Amino acid sequence: MASTTSGSGLDAVEYQPSGGSTGVSFDWGFAVSLTLGALGSLVGRPIGPELSLPVALGSLVLAAVGLALGEALRRGNGVARRIQIGFHSLLVLVGIPILLPTVQAFQQGRSDLLYTLVLSIILFFVVSPSEIWLLMRPGSRRWYGIVDPKEALERHSGGWLVRTITWAVVGGFLNAFAPF
């Protein structure tokens, strides 16, 4: 067994979490994408389809939920981990119907659709299953929910936080500006 360096004993190898940066950057990137779409519509310069006022405001509320879920995951919240696993499981199922239109768009040479569909396939069939697998690993199952939030924040700050925010912003912009 590996030695520990902190008083909680959560530095031992069997307690090392995984999937946090993927989950947090996904949630925050989703929030960035929703915020850009909503704000674009609210100021009269829509990104993608124009959103009505209620839909734009609803998007901002959903973006706030994404930010909160990402922050809860960053703090080691066990409930956030379970919500994340459920959400990504749902995304995999939602992604299945996208396979046929992607094949058809590829066969027809519809490059305008391919970018959005390929981006969706990457999210549904690469990112989401990877996130589920990482969060279900033994170290993650043990770590989330028992770690002290202060210790989790110390672990998930500095360079980790900068990299995660960078991925979130890049992913959010790629999704928001995907051609429709």
**Amino acid 117: pLDDT:** 82
What does the pLDDT average to over 50-66? 97
**Mean pLDDT (whole number) for 110-128:** 85
Range name among 19-23, 104-108, 155-159 with the lowest pLDDT average: 104-108
Alpha-carbon distances, residue 39 vs 26, 35, 177, 180 (angstroms): 20, 6, 13, 18
pLDDT at 1: 35
Chain mean pLDDT for the chain = 89
Q: Is the pLDDT of residue 48 over 90?
A: no
The model carries a pTM of 0.84
For residues 108 and 78, is the Cβ–Cβ distance under 8 A?
no
Report how far residue 134's alpha carbon sits from residue 140's, in angstroms, rounded to the nearest whole number. Answer: 7
